[in-house]
Structure 1
Amino acid sequence: MSLTLPTSILNIFQKKKTNFSAGISILPDKVQLVKVESVNGSMQCVGFDVVSTTTDDQAITALETLINKHQLVSAETTIILPANKVESTQLDTSELPDREVTATLPWKIKELINIAPQDMVCDYIDMPLQPTGQQPKTQVLAVSRTYLERVIKPFHDAGAPIHALTTEQFALAKLQTTQDAAQLIFIQHHKSDAILLIVKNQQICFARKIRNTAATIDMTPEQLQMGGSDMIAIEIQRSIDYFESQLKQPPIKNAFLAMEGNNADLLVDALNQVLPVKTKLIPLDNLDGQSDLDSSYIAAVGAALYSQPLKIAVEAKNEN
């Protein structure tokens, strides 16, 4: 089952063989890029960039700028679509059409998605874990065809190959390198709802958006200490409880956090005082070089490594 939104229908041109790959993350207020090169079996970050934006038109112009500036004609690029452009819903797996699923899905979910079925491109995944006693669910993703065509056009015009179109959740899941150990990931960008994931063996086992958390980025240390982190802690705890009790899974040991702004360390400290799992800043240890690359680029890093199979190792017994 594909984990990316389908690209063949949009005439993405043939890929070129290259040692370079790039990840682009389109966010509500910026477009980020990370470019990597395969060197002796390891991935080296050879450049990163960001362009501030406020509109879709500016985001498309930013793509044109990054393609030219970083010579993406010589790289395969994975593009992360902005969360506010991707809608999702769940269907009972038994309700999925048997034939031509991606063609007929828009009409199946037209009452659940705020995109006209004529303009809708869909993909779906079967969740690897299902609650006991309930009908198996399938997660359906939808995005506007018109928007996708706008995103792809600068690459097509420049002759720059696209490896995949995907979402932040799948890019982050692909970064996991620990076998058979579930990890919780909490991501907060400016002007965006937070994303909370639980991943295991590079598969998304649980995912949801958490509203009304963006203000945490700009809180003062005093506000965080006086309860500003409580909502995030509650949502993380609820997600852990669901994963362990409803999905009947072993306890989660680690929670990873990536947050823009200056409050990430403070939030980690606050969460470690109230949560039963060890909370850490999300690491960038899948890449060598560019030591000044910070965790706010984690989605673009995941996209840059999306085409590179990462080795999964058994969790060390002394990891905490």
Structure 2
Amino acid sequence: MLSDGIYLSKVDPESGLEVASFHELTDNNWDFVLSSALKEHQCQNLNATVTLGSHLYQSYQIDKPAIPKEEWPVALPFLLKDLITERVNEIVADGIELADSNKIQAYVVSKRFVEQLKQALTHRSVKLLNIAPEDEVWAHTRPEVPAFILLHRSQNSDFRIGAFVNQSSVFQRAVRGVESPITGEFTSSLQIDALALELQRSMDYLSAQLKQVQINKLFICCDDENTEELREALQERLNVMVEPLLLSNVTQKSGEVLIYEAYQLGQKGVNLYPEHLKPKKDIFNLNIVVASWAAMLLIMMVIYSIYNYNNHQLDEQITITNRQATELTNEVAALNKKLAAHKPSPAKLAAVERLREDVKTKQESLKVISSFDSQLQVGYSGIMSGLSSIDRSDISLTNIDIKNGKMNIQGLAKSPEVIPSWVQQFKNEMNLVGRTFESLSIGRDENNVVIFSLRSKSGDED
């Protein structure tokens, strides 16, 4: 956006940058002209970078602030408040460091202008990305030359002199009193002399200020002027090398040059549209809110349906359970009635009690009999089995008496001395071991046969 009009160019993804179209400005109606140009070229749903002419911004050199560079857009308006007439909240500022210096080049633009520009682009669905001052774009036109002076002019504007070192703008001024055109059929030696004088003054000032930098090249890019004629005229009057800014013979206006250079530069360098002015991405807008409500309503309806279905199922289960409980209660009542009707009579209870006593008595009798049988089995069977195991031909038993744990034996013996030997063999039989005898009687019968009698001690166990 220069003083003579708006230069517009779209970027095609395949062919690259299109030829710039020019849209003249009249009566400072730039917003209307911009909107018409966007509509004419069908610029919608695109991103935009804008380069501003020098008449739309101000520039200052100030000491480098001791704050991080990303904070400059917020801090610079306060640092420049003593140099500007506008209020701090009415301007937008950004800056760039100057090479080999502790200063920065700061640029200031009206906040109201930025908002109007954003609004005009947004109306055509174009998103603003970057706003660059033209001086920073001119600084990148000849990257192979470390330091140079540029004389440039667009239509309906004054000649301007800029000095650039290491692709940074270090000096800008407008030349007053020299009316263009000064070449061609309007050639004026006085005008050229005045322009050369202003250039020389600027170079002398730069030589004094930039002592470590030697500037010996002057480039020219002036609309409505014969570039070759102006070059020759300035070369005669100045002691620096004068060349056209563009090496090709194709004549291009300043705006077209800036279009191309801004495209090459991209979003690097100064940006007068800082992040804090960009529209914040709405987390909640009308569409999102409506969609959220619809989703919540749907979820609530689903949840309600699920709970309603579960409640219906539970109600059915409760009904079935209550019916079963009623039936069981009725059945219990009927059974209790039957139970009450089947109570035994006192005579039956007395008979049952007598039968229980009879059973108890018989059980005790069986227990005694069992004990007696066991005792007899051990007393007779065991002892008889033990005595039969001691099989001797010189002993013959005639009588065995077992009563109350006592065992008395009578028998015949071949001789008296075999009786003790036979008794000694009791210790080898389990049912006879441990038995002792209280007395031993030995005698002879009428046939002179030895007879004996053994009597147990009182309390011997069987």
Question: For residue 59 of structure 1, what is the aligned residue in structure 2?
Answer: 30
Seen in structure 2, the aligned counterparts of structure 1 residues 174 and 71 have a Cα distance that, compared at 3 Å, is: farther
1:34 Cα deviation from its structure 2 partner: 3.6
Q: 1:119 aligns with which of 90, 111, 123?
A: 90
Question: For residue 147 of structure 1, what is the aligned residue in structure 2?
Answer: 113
- SS in structure 2 opposite 1:272? helix
1:110 Cα deviation from its structure 2 partner: 2.2
Taking structure 2 as the reference length, the TM-score comes to 0.51
Q: Which moves more between the two structures, 93-102 or 222-231?
A: 93-102
AA partner of residue 299 (structure 1): L
Seen in structure 2, the aligned counterparts of structure 1 residues 83 and 219 have a Cα distance that, compared at 3 Å, is: same
1:45 Cα deviation from its structure 2 partner: 4.4
Taking structure 1 as the reference length, the TM-score comes to 0.71
Q: Work out whether residues 175 and 198 of structure 2, in 8 Å CA contact, stay in contact via their aligned partners in 1.
A: no
1:210 aligns with 2:174: yes
Q: 2:246 aligns with which of 283, 287, 312?
A: 283
Q: Work out whether residues 120 and 143 of structure 1, in 8 Å CA contact, stay in contact via their aligned partners in 2.
A: yes
* Alignment partners' CA distance in 2, 1:233 and 1:96: 41
Q: Work out whether residues 183 and 254 of structure 1, in 8 Å CA contact, stay in contact via their aligned partners in 2.
A: yes
1:272 Cα deviation from its structure 2 partner: 1.0
1:254 aligns with 2:217: yes
Q: 1:82 aligns with which of 34, 53, 62?
A: 53
Q: Work out whether residues 73 and 161 of structure 1, in 8 Å CA contact, stay in contact via their aligned partners in 2.
A: no
1:272 aligns with 2:227: no
* Alignment partners' CA distance in 2, 1:65 and 1:165: 20
Seen in structure 2, the aligned counterparts of structure 1 residues 79 and 98 have a Cα distance that, compared at 3 Å, is: closer
1:43-68 C-alpha deviation (Å, 9 max, x unpaired): 85422111111233x21112112223
Q: 1:197 aligns with which of 162, 181, 184?
A: 162
Alignment of 1:13-32 (within 5 A): 26-32=1-7
* Alignment partners' CA distance in 2, 1:69 and 1:190: 23
Query: Which is richer in helix?
Result: 2
- SS in structure 1 opposite 2:171? strand
Alignment of 1:211-226 (within 5 A): 211-213=175-177, 215=179, 217-219=180-182, 221=184, 224-226=187-189
Identity of counterpart residues, as a percentage? 23
1:218 Cα deviation from its structure 2 partner: 2.9
* Alignment partners' CA distance in 2, 1:185 and 1:74: 36
1:169-195 C-alpha deviation (Å, 9 max, x unpaired): 11112232306x322211112333433
Q: 2:260 aligns with which of 283, 297, 301?
A: 301
- SS in structure 2 opposite 1:178? coil
Question: For residue 19 of structure 2, what is the aligned residue in structure 1?
Answer: 47
* Alignment partners' CA distance in 2, 1:44 and 1:213: 41
Question: For residue 396 of structure 2, what is the aligned residue in structure 1?
Answer: none
Q: Work out whether residues 234 and 242 of structure 2, in 8 Å CA contact, stay in contact via their aligned partners in 1.
A: yes
* Alignment partners' CA distance in 1, 2:222 and 2:232: 13
- SS in structure 1 opposite 2:73? helix
1:141 Cα deviation from its structure 2 partner: 1.5
Seen in structure 2, the aligned counterparts of structure 1 residues 223 and 165 have a Cα distance that, compared at 3 Å, is: same
- SS in structure 1 opposite 2:20? strand
* Alignment partners' CA distance in 2, 1:52 and 1:158: 19
1:39-93 C-alpha deviation (Å, 9 max, x unpaired): 6xxx85422111111233x211121122233343365432112322212223222
Seen in structure 2, the aligned counterparts of structure 1 residues 91 and 245 have a Cα distance that, compared at 3 Å, is: closer
1:185 aligns with 2:150: yes
In the alignment of these two chains, the number of paired residues is 268
* Alignment partners' CA distance in 1, 2:263 and 2:40: 17
Q: Which moves more between the two structures, 152-161 or 269-278?
A: 152-161
Q: Work out whether residues 87 and 113 of structure 1, in 8 Å CA contact, stay in contact via their aligned partners in 2.
A: no
Q: Which runs of 5+ in 1 are unaligned?
A: 1-25, 131-135, 286-290, 310-320
**RCO greater where, 1 or 2, for CA within 8 Å and sep 6 or more?**
1
Higher Cα radius of gyration: 2
AA partner of residue 122 (structure 2): H
Seen in structure 2, the aligned counterparts of structure 1 residues 225 and 158 have a Cα distance that, compared at 3 Å, is: closer
AA partner of residue 201 (structure 1): N
* Alignment partners' CA distance in 2, 1:242 and 1:96: 30
1:232 aligns with 2:203: no
1:220 Cα deviation from its structure 2 partner: 5.9
Query: Which is richer in strand?
Result: 1
1:125 Cα deviation from its structure 2 partner: 1.9
Q: Work out whether residues 79 and 166 of structure 1, in 8 Å CA contact, stay in contact via their aligned partners in 2.
A: yes
Seen in structure 2, the aligned counterparts of structure 1 residues 75 and 188 have a Cα distance that, compared at 3 Å, is: same
- SS in structure 2 opposite 1:252? coil
Q: 1:172 aligns with which of 138, 141, 150?
A: 138
AA partner of residue 140 (structure 1): A
* Alignment partners' CA distance in 2, 1:54 and 1:76: 26
Seen in structure 2, the aligned counterparts of structure 1 residues 126 and 308 have a Cα distance that, compared at 3 Å, is: closer
Q: Which runs of 5+ in 2 are unaligned?
A: 269-462
* Alignment partners' CA distance in 1, 2:89 and 2:213: 43
Question: For residue 159 of structure 1, what is the aligned residue in structure 2?
Answer: 125
How large is the RMSD of aligned CA atoms in angstroms? 3.2
- SS in structure 1 opposite 2:234? helix
Seen in structure 2, the aligned counterparts of structure 1 residues 52 and 223 have a Cα distance that, compared at 3 Å, is: closer
* Alignment partners' CA distance in 1, 2:191 and 2:62: 35
1:241-273 C-alpha deviation (Å, 9 max, x unpaired): 344443234533431111111344332221011
Seen in structure 2, the aligned counterparts of structure 1 residues 154 and 187 have a Cα distance that, compared at 3 Å, is: same
